[in-house]
Amino acid sequence: MAVSVETQRALEALDALHAEDPRRVEVEGQSLPKELWHAGRMSAWLERLEAAPDELVQLAVRGQHLQRWQVPRDEYEEGRVGYLTWRRDQGKRAGETTARLMREAGFDEQSAEQVARMIRKQGLGREAGTQAVEDCACLVFLENYFADFSQQVERDHLIRIVRKTWGKMSPQARELALGLPMSEEARELVEAALAE
């Protein structure tokens, strides 16, 4: 997919920061920085969701998890309030850094702020770019993290989480999610969440 010189520069700058993640993940026999791999999965889902995604949306999707390892979840209090505060702070940091990289790559202030808003999930349900970021994040979670996550969380709580995740997704993302390969146990949980 061809992109402008500015977008290519910004994507390369984002991936350079992703590559600094000290955490590693094994993918097809290759060890990759976890965040770089995650960003690649986000972009891959965007390509499945939209035939010709806008370049600003591509940048928002790529920057959504930026440098997340620098502020671990356990530095915040346990429970929902702590989680939501951590997530909000991560979105703010990732948005600010992505906007800075975009300005350095030649983007104007308005475009940089538009991408930062998408990363902060502002306008969810109303703005297509923000919805695309959320859809990709939900699909990456369901595809790659849900099975392990489901082993750590009590069943009723997990069903509520699946229901909330589903409620944030577009109809197209939901359709893609239903096509994901899942263990019998994970699929049963999803079906239970959607049945209620």
Q: What is the pTM of this model?
A: 0.92
Name the amino acid, one letter, at 73: R
- Predicted confidence at residue 161, as pLDDT, reads 87
User: Under a CB-based contact definition with an 8 Å cutoff, are residues 135 and 147 in contact?
Assistant: no
**What's residue 196's pLDDT?**
65
CA–CA separation, 66 and 36 (whole Å):
9
Residue 135, token pair as written in the block: 């859809």
The answer to whether 5 and 56 have CB atoms below 8 angstroms apart is no
Element (H, E) at 24: strand 24-27
**Range name among 20-24, 130-134, 164-168, 181-185 with the lowest pLDDT average:** 181-185
Q: Which DSSP state fits 120?
A: T
With both helix axes pointing from N to C terminus, report the angle between 5-18 and 34-49 in degrees, rounded to the nearest 10. Answer: 140
Binned at pLDDT 50, 70 and 90, residue 158 comes out as confident
pLDDT given for residue 58 in this prediction:
98
Query: In residues, how long is the chain?
Result: 196
Three-class secondary structure of residue 121 per DSSP:
coil
pLDDT at 155: 87
Mean pLDDT of all residues in 142-152 = 84
| The pLDDT value given to residue 104 | 98
| C-alpha gyration radius of the chain | 17
Give the number of C-alpha atoms closer than 13 A to the C-alpha of residue 154, restricted to the C-beta side: 2
Residue 1 has pLDDT above 80, yes or no: no
Q: What is the pLDDT of residues 93-114, one digit of tens each?
A: 999 999 999 999 999 999 999 9
Q: pLDDT digit string (tens) for 24-64?
A: 999 999 999 999 999 999 999 999 999 899 999 999 999 99
> For residue 169, what are its two tokens?
């997704």
